[in-house]
Amino acid sequence: MSEDDAPSVADADIPDDVDVPEDVEPETMDSDVEESAKTVPRSVPLRVEGLRKEFGGITAVDGATFAVEEGSLTGLIGPNGAGKSTTFNCITGVHEADAGDVYFRGEEISGEQPHDIVERGLVRTFQIARQLGEMTVLENVMLAPGGQQGESITRSVLPGTRGRVVAQERELREKAWETLEFFELDHLATEYAGNLSGGQRKLLELARALMTDPSVLLLDEPFAGVNPTLEEKLLDRIHDLREQGLTFLLVEHDMDLIMQNCEHVIVMHQGRVLDEGPPERIKNNEEVIEAYLGGEV
């Protein structure tokens, strides 16, 4: 019943204190990547080099190379079929890339299992929200944090250790409520996730991703199918989290939204990076305009 004294996991999951230590990079930098490290700015948590993925003869990603800066809100745009989602899938281990490397905080993570990548702090959401419909919103959010004692059967079951599991669950629940309040989903906490609206599902997915204590979030079209009010809310939350030090890479179709909110934009076309830079530069790039017109008309 002691909800006040929660020291053991206090450092684990609260979104408010998500804080990316600045000194991670130099420590983990090994000689292999030193060369490429010279060419990019120092604090680059995520770097993709020459990524390539084929599906039965069709090349979805064809040598994509880009980097995401620490603390940035980077937009990844491109016409349909440009390979954005496949790039996400390759970065997060859902697909195995045919060629190319992905570096996270200086370490190569290509070929790692999705769950290992999440443990490193690189977490993604999906284009079509993958809410767990037969679980409540609260359950969804409580699922996410890593290092839960009770994920071991024996500790959950045995009388001696069950107490600690329950204590951690209580702290987790508290944190879950906080996160839900942050996303203004708290009034839906006991609702089954399957009953949520499209926009609420997107919010829930972001809330859930946040509970894993990430340092870089990859959001795949977080605004698709979200009404303007919720979109506003979602954007506000993203900006809040950025101020707390999180890094975002955002796939989005809505050009205006990207141009207004991102300070760095990467344009993909036919599996390659066509151009990247600040929004003003992208807006005036003829090739980009053509790719979009060519893609949409």
Nearer to another protein, 148 or 265 (CB): 148
Site string for another protein, 236-275 (x = CB under 8 A): ----------------------------------------
For residue 295, state whether it binds another protein (rule: CB under 8 A). Answer: no
Q: Is 8 in the site for another protein (CB under 8 A)?
A: no
150 binds another protein (CB under 8 A): yes
Interacting residue with another protein among 130, 239, 281, 283 (CB under 8 A): 130
Interface residue with another protein among 135, 235, 255, 257 (CB under 8 A) is 135
Residue 135 or residue 259: which is nearer to another protein going by CB?
135
For residue 217, what are the β-bridge partners? 123, 248
Q: Output phi, psi for 250, to 5 deg.
A: -125, 120
Can you state the angle between helices 228-243 and 198-211, rounded to 10 degrees? Answer: 10
Our CB check for another protein shows the closer of 133 and 294 to be: 133
Q: Which whole-number Å values give the CA distances from 3 to 110, 122, 172, 232, in the listed order?
A: 41, 30, 10, 34
Query: CA 117 to CA 121: how far, in whole Å?
Result: 7
Binding of another protein by 227 (CB under 8 A): yes
Residues 91, 219, 230, 250: which binds another protein (CB under 8 A)? Answer: 230
- Cβ nearer to another protein, comparing 123 with 273: 123
The helices-and-strands tally (H runs, E runs) of the chain is 12, 10
Contact flag: residue 98 with another protein (CB under 8 A): no
Binding status of residue 94 toward another protein by CB under 8 A? yes
The residues near 207 (Cβ < 8 Å, ≥ 6 apart) are 141, 179, 180, 182, 183, 185
* Interface with another protein, residue 136, by CB under 8 A: yes
Residue among 66, 127, 116, 60 nearest 92 (CA)? 116
**What single-letter amino acid sits at 234?**
L
Return the number of the residue (77 or 188) whose C-beta is nearest another protein.
188
Please say whether the beta carbons of 163 and 186 come within 8 A. no
Closer residue to another protein in complex, CB, 107/119: 119
The reply to whether 118 sits near another protein by the rule CB under 8 A is yes
> Which of these segments, 182-190, 236-244, 261-269, 276-284, binds another protein (CB under 8 A)?
182-190
Q: Name the H helices within 71-158.
A: 84-91, 114-120, 137-143, 153-157
Helices 159-182 and 198-211 meet at what angle, rounded to 10?
A: 130
Q: Which residues bind another protein (CB under 8 A)?
A: 3, 56, 92, 94, 113-115, 118-119, 123-126, 130-136, 138-139, 142-144, 146, 148-153, 156-157, 162, 165-166, 168-170, 173-174, 177-178, 186-192, 196-200, 208-209, 212, 225-227, 229-230
